[in-house]
Chains A and B, each alone.
Chain A
Amino acid sequence: MARITAGIATSHVPAIGAAIDLGKTQDEYWKPIFDGYEFVKEWIKSNTPDVVILVYNDHASALMLDIVPTFAIGFADEFLPADEGWGRRPVPTVHNHSDLAAHVAEQLVIDEFDITIINEMDVDHGCTVPLSLVFGQPEEWPCKVIPLAVNVTQFPTPSGERCWKLGEAIRNAVKTFPEDLNVQIWGTGGMSHQLQGTRAGLINAEFDNRFLDLLAHEPEELTPMTRIEYLREAGTEGIELIMWLIMRAALGYGVEELHRFYRVPASNTAVGHVVYEARS
Chain B
Amino acid sequence: MARTRLYSLEDLEDIPGTKVFTAKRSREAYHLHKFCMSLMKPENREAFKADERAYLDRYKMTEEQKQGVLARDLSRLIELGGNMYFLVKLASTDGWSAQKAVSSMSGMSAEEYAAMMREGGRSPEGLRSKKDQN
Contact = CB atoms under 8 A, between A and B. Distances in A.
Chain A interface main SS type:
loop
B67 interface: no
Q: Which of B36, B84, B107, B124 has the most CB of A within 10 A?
A: B124
A195 B84 contact: yes
A60 B84 CA distance: 9
16 contacts: A15-B97, A65-B34, A85-B40, A85-B91, A154-B26, A155-B22, A195-B88, A196-B18, A196-B83, A197-B105, A198-B105, A199-B17, A201-B103, A201-B116, A202-B124, A267-B97
Interface string A194-235: 111111111111010000000000000000001110011100
Interface size classification for chain B: 35 or more
A237 B23 CA distance: 17
Given A196-B18, A232-B15, A60 B37 contact: yes
Contact of B40 (A82, A200, A232, A268): A82
B41 A199 contact: no
Nearest to A193: B121
B102 interface: yes
B63 to A, nearest CB: 21
Q: Which of B36, B75, B117, B129 has the most CB of A within 10 A?
A: B117
A264 B118 CA distance: 7
Interface string B101-117: 01101110000010011
A264 B40 contact: no
A272 to B, nearest CB: 13
A199 B122 contact: yes
A196 B89 contact: no
B74 to A, nearest CB: 8
B86 A60 contact: yes
A199 B15 contact: yes
Interface in A60-89: 60-61, 64-65, 68, 82-87
Contact of B85 (A64, A226, A270): A64
Given A65-B30, A65-B34, A197-B105, A231 B97 contact: no
B80 to A, nearest CB: 13
B102 A268 contact: yes
B98 A60 contact: no
B134 to A, nearest CB: 9
Nearest to A204: B124
A11 interface: no
A182 interface: no
Contacts of A172: none
Given A194-B18, A199-B17, A200-B122, A65 B33 contact: yes
A203 B19 CA distance: 17
A61 B40 contact: yes
Nearest to B94: A85
B15 A268 contact: no
Given A85-B88, A201-B113, A267-B98, A154 B36 contact: no
Nearest to B23: A154
